[in-house]
Amino acid sequence: MRSFIFILAPFCSTDQRYQIWAFRYLRPAQIARKIGKHRSVIAREIAHSGSSLTDYNPQQAHKRARQRKAVNTTKATAAIHEAIASGLTISRVALTNRASPC
């Protein structure tokens, strides 16, 4: 029985993107085992690159990941600003009345 240690970060570093490129002739599950990521992270990385694994470009993948991160950052609401100003005490009302992301 094999055991693997996976890094818990749900994204790839620049080095790991170059490792994906180096192992592009393998299946995503095999790449995941070699670089210590879950296979879903590798599959997502390939899907986000918008191409097949053989056409994977680590520089483009990293650039697109940074763009996605900039777009998906959390925006501070008025309630958060008020909580910070009042000493970091967020009331339960403020937390339960916030808009649902779905």
Same domain, 43 and 89: no
- DSSP result, 17-74: HHHHHHTTTS-HHHHHHHHT--HHHHHHHHHHHTS-GGG--HHHHHHHHHHHHHHTPP
Same domain, 50 and 85: no
Q: Give the model confidence (pLDDT) of 12-60 as tens digits.
A: 888 888 898 899 889 989 999 998 888 888 888 888 876 677 788 888 8
d(CA 31, CA 33): 5
d(CA 51, CA 85): 46
Residue type, 28: P
Same domain, 98 and 65: no
Q: Give the model confidence (pLDDT) of 77-94 as tens digits.
A: 777 777 777 776 555 555
The whole model's pTM is what?
A: 0.56
Same domain, 17 and 36: yes
Q: Taking a C-beta distance cutoff of 8 angstroms, is the pair 58, 17 a contact?
A: yes
Enclosing domain of residue 7: 1-71
